[in-house]
Amino acid sequence: MSSIRTIFSDIDVPILGTTLGLVVIGILSIYSSGMTSEGVQVSNEYVKQIIWAVSGLFLMGLTMLLDYNRTKDYSLFVYVFFLLVLIYTSIAGKVVNGSRSWIGIGDIGIQPSEFTKLATILFLAQYLSSSEHVPSLRRLAAALAIVCVPIIIILPQQDFGTSLVFFPILIFSVYAAGIERRHIAFMLAGAFLAGLLTILPLWEKFILKSPPLLLFVLYRQPYSYFSLSVAGLIFGLATWGWTSFRKRYYYWISYVSLLLAGGIIVSSLAQKILKDYQIMRLIVFLDPSIDPRGSGWNILQSITAIGSGGFWGKGFLQGTQSHYRYLPQQSTDFIFSIIAEEWGFVGGLAVFGLFTLLFRRCILLIRSSRDVYATTMVAGVLGMIFFHFFINAGMAMGIMPITGIPLFFLSYGGSSLWTVMIAVGLLLGVSARRYGA
């Protein structure tokens, strides 16, 4: 049992350093985003962010001190608690920007969906570490169910981006926990197929203007039912073949046909649940000129801001795109655009570098950690931060869809900052205890 002192003396300096560095950059950029063209600070967001950062540091230290081996037995309660909070939010929460995802009193509000990510990571790690002798496929199915519950609650709140984050968490976790690769590949391919089939109808309608390929048999209503029944039939026959003759190719035939059937089912469900504009958001990034005044406008403005920064940037508080308000949501979703505009390529590279350093430390932790719970948990945290970075930075540069996912550490917002700082606290806790007896 490590004492508080040894834990603090064993603190992972690179993780702490990158965290502090990113948070400070974030506060500076939020300060800059609140500045008008006249040099007047019109927003107190940076003050709030400082308060959240300081309290977040406290939470981070607290999390680090909690021994994860002792707390892991409570992960189910934490998970269930946040699911209940989510349900409460979806019924009685405040609507902000079209999503009913906030609860709170007066001006102070939190987004429980952010914290649910952490709760899910913890419970997922707990399950995967305690089910090592369960067959791989069944473990994967159970893990999938664990992440699907919050997704199902969040999706009707129309918070599409947040629900998307649960997939990388799942994949990183199960991969680290040793689920068979072909099973993970099956899930990935299924998700890809379902996503593709969800997007294709609208893509065809708004971009291609002409029927594409022969794929339409998979998503157009009358044909897709037919395709589904064919795939189902092949799956049934192949499975029967596999169980009777144990020939390898039967296995793969049923693998592929099940994939197809699953993709069709999930995509037709998704088309019913998702709103057109949510799917359109995913499409617009492919070609911002489709909608130059709508969401395409945001992307074009963001790219212009970043590109105009040049190598060294325009200097702190000198950004023009941001200060003349061409950039939308600049303190939250497009915070990276301000950084790149004012600090240029060098500043952007520094942010990328800090994130990559953090990822590197996470990977080292996974490699050196000795128990499956810690490994899986760190992988889940890695998946979460990695995905946020991947999507948000890519979105700002115009190579990823606009999904409303904030850039951890940097974006304005208490819930996401606290979430990531608690997550870092988990990392630090694992790091400090990895050699402990």
Q: How far is the CB of 152 from another protein (least distance, A)?
A: 28
78 vs 372 by CB, closer to another protein: 372
- Give the DSSP letter string of 202-217: HHIIIII-S--TTGGG
225 vs 325 by CB, closer to another protein: 325
- Give the DSSP letter string of 342-384: HHHHHHHHHHHHHHHHHHHHHHHHHHH--SHHHHHHHHHHHHH
Of the CA atoms within 13 Å of residue 149, those in its CB half-sphere come to 21
**Bridge partners of residue 41, in order along the sequence:** 35
280 vs 305 by CB, closer to another protein: 305
303 vs 426 by CB, closer to another protein: 303
Residue 212 main-chain phi, psi, to 5 deg: -90, 145
- Cα 157 to Cα 236: distance, rounded to the nearest angstrom: 37
Q: How far is the CB of 397 from another protein (least distance, A)?
A: 6
153 vs 405 by CB, closer to another protein: 405
Pair of tokens at residue 54: 């300081």
216 vs 326 by CB, closer to another protein: 326
Residue 35 main-chain phi, psi, to 5 deg: -85, 135
Q: How far is the CB of 166 from another protein (least distance, A)?
A: 18
Q: How far is the CB of 242 from another protein (least distance, A)?
A: 19
Q: How far is the CB of 295 from another protein (least distance, A)?
A: 18
Task: Quote the Cα angle for 83-87-92, to 5°.
Answer: 145
- Cα 256 to Cα 247: distance, rounded to the nearest angstrom: 15
176 vs 253 by CB, closer to another protein: 176
Q: How far is the CB of 372 from another protein (least distance, A)?
A: 6
- Cα 400 to Cα 417: distance, rounded to the nearest angstrom: 22
Please check whether residue 14 is in contact with residue 361, taking contact to mean a CB–CB distance below 8 angstroms: yes
Q: How far is the CB of 313 from another protein (least distance, A)?
A: 8
Pair of tokens at residue 293: 């005044």
Q: How far is the CB of 348 from another protein (least distance, A)?
A: 5
- 37-70 per-residue burial string, b: 16 or more CB within 10 A, e: under 16: eeeeeeeebbebbeebbeebbebbbebbeeebee
Residues in contact with another protein by the rule CB under 8 A: 1, 36-38, 40, 42-43, 67, 69, 132, 136, 172, 175-181, 303-311, 320-321, 324-326, 340, 344-345, 348-349, 352-353, 355-356, 359-360, 362-363, 366-367, 370-373, 375, 379, 382, 386, 389-390, 393-394, 397, 399, 433, 436-437
Contacts 24+ apart (CB under 8 A), 150-153: 150/82, 150/83, 150/86, 150/113, 150/116, 150/120, 153/83, 153/86, 153/87, 153/90
264 vs 354 by CB, closer to another protein: 354
139 vs 415 by CB, closer to another protein: 139
Q: How far is the CB of 300 from another protein (least distance, A)?
A: 9
